[in-house]
Amino acid sequence: MTDHKESARAMRAFPGLTYYHPNGSCTGTALRIELKLHILPEDRYGCFFLEIARQKAVADPSSPSSYPTFDWQNKAIIKLSFLDVCAFLTVLEGRVDRLGPEGKGLFHQYGSTNTLITLQQSQKNPGFYLGISRKEAPGSERFKAGILLNDAETIGLRSIFQAGLFHLAFGQISVNLSVIQPSAIQQTSSV
């Protein structure tokens, strides 16, 4: 029984999508989107996680195997609920100009940590700008990062969020194909 629970826990995180935006001045950003679903009854997921990391180093132009790196150890992690994702979609689908009530962003508070999430269509470049501002505790340094998602990345993010809404609401629904008779599969495929 324990082995089943451990393997189910390992499967609840699906591979994420990461957008990397490095630049030569080391002010780039990377954004990772990960879907977490309810697999076991005691799980309290059903959300997307956004992770945003600032660029740590630029690629060494003298080395062809050198790549820019990002500071994933000091990343900001944002948990997006069903309604948060719906709010993102209102912006990504052009229903509103900016994220959140009165376009002031989404505010998340967890313990002494305050996070402001902004999303709006860029006025200067095609695409959408996602900004994260987080303060851990009074007197601590503020984490700020932002990323301009181009049109293709925006379509990808919107599609992932749209497809994920059902699963956020109802968890993982899967079919065990080994218990379905092959004749039943053939009948449904010819309809």
Which range, 4-8, 51-55, 177-181, is most confident?
51-55
As a whole number of angstroms, the distance between CA 1 and CA 68 comes to: 44
Cβ atoms within 10 Å of 52's Cβ, excluding its own: 25
Token pair of 122, please?
A: 């860029």
Token couple for 60: 């060494």
DSSP H helices, 144-190, are 151-170, 182-189
pLDDT value at 30 more than 90: yes
Give the SS3 label for residue 16: coil
What is the rounded CA–CA span in Å between residue 56 and residue 22?
A: 9
Residue 73's Cβ-side half-sphere holds a number of Cα atoms within 13 Å equal to 2
Average pLDDT taken over every residue of the chain: 82
The answer to whether the pTM exceeds 0.85 is no
3-state SS track over 131-145: EEEEECCCCCCEEEE
The proportion of the chain whose per-residue pLDDT surpasses 70, expressed as a percent, equals 77
From residue 21, alpha-carbon distances to 55, 67, 121, 126, 147 in Å are 8, 12, 17, 15, 8
- Distance in angstroms (rounded) separating the CA atoms of residues 26 and 93: 31
Please list, in sequence order, all residues whose beta carbon lies within 8 angstroms of the beta carbon of residue 130, skipping any fewer than 6 positions away: 31, 52, 117, 118, 119, 146, 147, 149
**87 compared with 183, residue with greater pLDDT:** 87
Looking at the domain 2-172, which fold is it?
Transcriptional Co-activator pc4; Chain A (2.30.31)
Radius of gyration of the chain (CA): 20
Instruction: Kindly report the number of other CB atoms within 10 A of residue 144's CB atom.
Output: 14
Q: What is the pLDDT of residues 38-80, one digit of tens each?
A: 666 555 667 899 999 999 998 888 888 888 899 999 999 999 9
